[in-house]
Chain A
Amino acid sequence: MKGIFGSGTKDFLAVRITALILLVYCIYLTFFVFHNAPISFDVWEGLFQNVFMKIFTTLFLLSFSVHTWVGTWAIGSDYLTIARMGSLGPIVNKLYRTLCALIVGCVTLWSLIIIW
């Protein structure tokens, strides 16, 4: 198994490094919402107008795409296999990966357009 980035070690690191970025972003956003509760449109929009927040959000979205791309691969390579599904496995897995790619791609692109 070669994973996504060519080796298990690289996949391992990619998932964990992106996980930390996702976590820091979530904690920051939670803190921001609590600190400004009840949040108004101006404060909310102001947050995402800030250029640092735009960069941070972009980093979050890129991390999201890598994290979920590897994560969904791990799920598919565990369950959608010949051992579990017979000869149907590879076909179902291929369909599943295409669907995942579509979701990851569209969602990331869409959210980047919203942010910038």
Chain B
Amino acid sequence: MKEKDNRPVYLNLLAIDLPIIGISSILHRVSGFALFLIFIIAVWMLDRSLSSEEEFLNLLEDLNSLVLLKVIFYLFLVGIVYHSLIGVKKIISDFFGIGEDLRSGSFISWIYNVISLLVSILLFIKFFI
């Protein structure tokens, strides 16, 4: 690492033909950080839901009527699904060496992305339609 090299440091992600594995990896990171932040709201909801029956029902009502809260909760669930699935993919490749090369890795990434998308659509229908 000592020797000077001329490899580019500032990579323009839009100019690179990033494989699905790379896109998933970035989304995994973005979803992880988003979950970290949304978790604060999740704890707030847990607090309300357990404080009394009245608060529990109020929270359910809020989740139905407050669009912003609904969207945040939706993103929270979608984030968990995505982060978990790509996380499982990474653990499987880390510990069992499955999906480490470009072909199988891309294939597995596609499967998990499609599953996430389907679950997200299902949740969207359940939440907003």
Q: Contact residues of A with B, CB < 8 Å?
A: 12, 16, 19-20, 23, 26, 41-42, 44-45, 48, 64, 68, 71-72, 75, 83-84, 103, 107, 110-111, 114
CA distance A19 to B87 in the complex (A): 8
Interface size classification for chain B: 20 to 34
Write the nearest CB–CB distance from B20 to chain A, whole angstroms.
Answer: 21
With A44-B56, A114-B47 in contact, is A71–B36 under 8 Å at CB? yes
With A19-B91, A45-B50, A71-B32 in contact, is A26–B84 under 8 Å at CB? yes
Ordered by A's residue number, 7 sampled pairs between the chains whose C-beta atoms are within 8 Å are A16-B94, A44-B49, A44-B56, A68-B32, A71-B36, A103-B37, A110-B47
Tell me whether chain A's interface is mostly helix, strand or loop, or mixed: helix
Write the nearest CB–CB distance from B120 to chain A, whole angstroms.
Answer: 15
CA distance A103 to B42 in the complex (A): 13
In-complex Cβ contact of A16 among B49, B80, B91 (8 A): B91
Write the nearest CB–CB distance from A44 to chain B, whole angstroms.
Answer: 6
